[in-house]
């Protein structure tokens, strides 16, 4: 954790708590499909349906969380959402004999878990405004370290119910942490606190949605990117099985992903410095890296090709993950929570429909059709991210000329 030494104590504590929460969350997500198939004795179709319900709950949570930020208050929203997440997880063991109740609880888990996401991002953007761009990146790195630790622990535990309960415990601890942490550090930067003393008229959600240049094209680009990224679960995974390769080879690809997210930070810093200095440029560059990775899958349908493709896709992931919340925090001012939730919800549609589209393509022709679909989605992402960058650059230029 040497990279934390340059930050104040209040930031270090927050990042460590985020890492612990991410570790707990990762205890569960690899096990949902196996739990439904192995423990409950249901089909893979049923497992996919559960993930669909969870994803739909997540979309609703993102949208609702962003709109409730100023209405409910950051402390109540974050603490309440995390507490409800813990409650839904603690209830899952009681639903092991009731299939319909289990589905409902997974939907509620998706809802409550996503409810806090735009609020936490907005809190970081408001409270640490001067450092938010780099902080979004550090949070992303810490969360992925937590995911790597949690995934490893989930295999070590080998107990579904224990994993669910431990995930609930970490969510409950994170809720308690935020309850005291927000009271101690506050929720806004000194500049924001001064500005908030002046009365500001509230804007309706419909009026905010009319400001499409802030969120729409960026969100659509993210949605297409997530559709294409479904190739890993619904294209590459069955391809490895159909080729008769050891299943561990698929896990090695995600091990590479986790290692790169931490180890390749200097390379990503160079990319930002040389080619993508702004958040809008980072989004476009991200889509180009994803496109390059999918093209490699098409041209090199071998394990070496998959390895190189994962490397390129991970660089794309590292560029876009902090860029989107950073852009919204910089441009949406006090309405950032609403746009964070809205953009997250629109983008998450890709996670809902992507696996189905990729599955249809794989059934029709194997890995190649999924690769073509992923490339097409990445091309659309490049176009929408480029349009987003152009429109916002034109708006800045117009503003300077008017001034």
pLDDT by residue (tens digit) across 103-131? 899 899 889 888 888 888 888 777 777 77
- What is the pLDDT, as a whole number, of residue 319? 93
The answer to whether residues 156 and 280 belong to one domain is no
Three-state DSSP state, 168: helix
Residue 118: name the closest of 378, 388, 385, 346 by CA. 346
- What is the pLDDT, as a whole number, of residue 194? 46
The answer to whether residues 140 and 232 belong to one domain is no
- What is the pLDDT, as a whole number, of residue 171? 85
- What is the pLDDT, as a whole number, of residue 197? 46
- What is the pLDDT, as a whole number, of residue 285? 95
Chain centroid to CA 368? 27
- What is the pLDDT, as a whole number, of residue 62? 85
The answer to whether residues 246 and 162 belong to one domain is no
Structural domain that includes position 179: 9-185
The answer to whether residues 139 and 236 belong to one domain is no
Who's near 126: CB < 8 A, 6+ residues apart? 187, 188, 189, 192, 329, 336
Chain centroid to CA 66? 15
Alpha carbons within 13 A on the beta-carbon side of 299: 9
Helix axes 9-26, 132-157, angle to 10 degrees: 40
Asked if 381 and 226 touch (Cβ cutoff 8 Å), the reply is no
The answer to whether residues 276 and 388 belong to one domain is yes
**Looking at the domain assignment, is residue 282 inside a domain?**
yes
Who's near 85: CB < 8 A, 6+ residues apart? 109, 112, 113, 115, 116, 168, 171
The answer to whether residues 140 and 264 belong to one domain is no
Measured CA to CA, the distance from residue 76 to residue 69 in angstroms comes to 9
The answer to whether residues 137 and 275 belong to one domain is no
Residue 137: name the closest of 276, 334, 306 by CA. 276
- What is the pLDDT, as a whole number, of residue 93? 81
pTM: 0.78
Q: Which parts of the chain sit beneath pLDDT 70?
A: 1-10, 21, 23-31, 33-34, 37-38, 44-45, 147-159, 186-205, 394-403
Tens of pLDDT, residue by residue over 222-250, are 999 999 998 887 788 888 878 888 877 87
The answer to whether residues 168 and 219 belong to one domain is no
Measured CA to CA, the distance from residue 19 to residue 141 in angstroms comes to 9
Asked if 119 and 175 touch (Cβ cutoff 8 Å), the reply is no
**Looking at the domain assignment, is residue 293 inside a domain?**
yes
- What is the pLDDT, as a whole number, of residue 177? 86
Measured CA to CA, the distance from residue 174 to residue 72 in angstroms comes to 19
**Looking at the domain assignment, is residue 300 inside a domain?**
yes
List C-alpha distances in Å: 144 to 30, 90, 122, 171, 260.
14, 24, 20, 17, 10
The answer to whether residues 167 and 241 belong to one domain is no
- What is the pLDDT, as a whole number, of residue 385? 96
**Looking at the domain assignment, is residue 205 inside a domain?**
no
List C-alpha distances in Å: 265 to 102, 140, 171, 252, 260.
40, 11, 28, 20, 8
The answer to whether residues 307 and 392 belong to one domain is yes
**Looking at the domain assignment, is residue 198 inside a domain?**
no
The answer to whether residues 245 and 311 belong to one domain is yes
What token pair was written down for 339? 């746009």
- What is the pLDDT, as a whole number, of residue 402? 39
Q: How many domains does the chain have?
A: 2
Measured CA to CA, the distance from residue 59 to residue 55 in angstroms comes to 6
**Looking at the domain assignment, is residue 190 inside a domain?**
no
The answer to whether residues 366 and 241 belong to one domain is yes
Measured CA to CA, the distance from residue 177 to residue 118 in angstroms comes to 18
**Looking at the domain assignment, is residue 21 inside a domain?**
yes
Helix axes 336-365, 303-331, angle to 10 degrees: 160
DSSP string for 327-380 = HHHHHSGGGHHHHHHHHHHHHHHHHHHHHHHHHHHHHHHSHHHHHHHHHHHHHH
Asked if 114 and 344 touch (Cβ cutoff 8 Å), the reply is yes
- What is the pLDDT, as a whole number, of residue 148? 66
**Looking at the domain assignment, is residue 320 inside a domain?**
yes
Residue 228: name the closest of 120, 4, 380 by CA. 380
- What is the pLDDT, as a whole number, of residue 36? 76
For the domain that residue 323 is a member of, what is the CATH number? 1.20.1250.20
Measured CA to CA, the distance from residue 328 to residue 311 in angstroms comes to 27
């Amino acid at each position: 954790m040497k990279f934390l030494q340059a930050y104040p104590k209040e930031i270090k504590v927050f990042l460590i708590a985020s890492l612990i929460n991410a570790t707990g969350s990762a205890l569960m997500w690899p096990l949902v499909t196996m739990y439904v198939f192995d423990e409950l004795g249901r089909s893979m179709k049923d497992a996919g349906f559960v993930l669909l319900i969870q994803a739909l709950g997540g979309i609703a949570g993102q949208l609702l969380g962003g709109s409730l930020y100023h209405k409910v208050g950051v402390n109540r929203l974050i603490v309440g959402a995390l507490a409800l997440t813990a409650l839904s997880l603690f209830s899952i063991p009681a639903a092991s004999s009731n299939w319909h109740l289990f589905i409902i609880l997974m939907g509620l888990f998706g809802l409550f878990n996503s409810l806090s996401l735009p609020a936490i991002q907005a809190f970081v953007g408001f409270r640490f405004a001067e450092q938010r761009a780099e902080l979004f990146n550090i949070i992303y790195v810490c969360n992925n370290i937590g995911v790597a630790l949690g995934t490893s622990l989930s295999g070590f535990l080998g107990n579904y119910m224990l994993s669910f309960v431990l995930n609930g415990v970490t969510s409950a601890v994170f809720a308690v942490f935020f309850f005291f942490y927000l009271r101690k550090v506050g929720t806004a930067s000194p500049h924001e606190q001064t500005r908030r003393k002046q009365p500001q008229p509230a804007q309706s959600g419909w009026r905010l949605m009319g400001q499409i240049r802030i969120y729409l094209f960026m969100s659509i680009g993210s949605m297409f990117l997530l559709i294409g990224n479904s190739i890993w679960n619904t294209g590459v995974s069955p391809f490895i099985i159909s080729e008769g390769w050891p299943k561990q080879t698929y896990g090695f690809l995600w091990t590479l992903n986790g290692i790169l997210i931490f180890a390749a930070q200097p390379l990503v810093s160079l990319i930002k410095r040389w080619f993508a200095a702004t958040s809008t440029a980072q989004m476009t560059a991200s889509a180009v890296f994803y496109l390059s990775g999918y093209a490699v899958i098409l041209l090199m349908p071998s394990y070496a090709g998959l390895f190189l493709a994962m490397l390129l896709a991970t660089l794309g992931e590292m560029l876009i993950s902090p860029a989107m919340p950073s852009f919204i925090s910089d441009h949406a001012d006090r309405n950032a929570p609403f746009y964070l939730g809205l953009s997250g919800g629109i983008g998450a549609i890709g996670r809902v429909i992507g696996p189905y589209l990729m599955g249809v393509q794989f059934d029709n022709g194997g890995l190649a059709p999924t690769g073509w679909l992923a490339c097409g989605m990445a091309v659309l992402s490049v176009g929408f991210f480029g349009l987003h960058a152009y429109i916002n650059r034109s708006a800045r230029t117009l503003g300077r000329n008017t001034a």
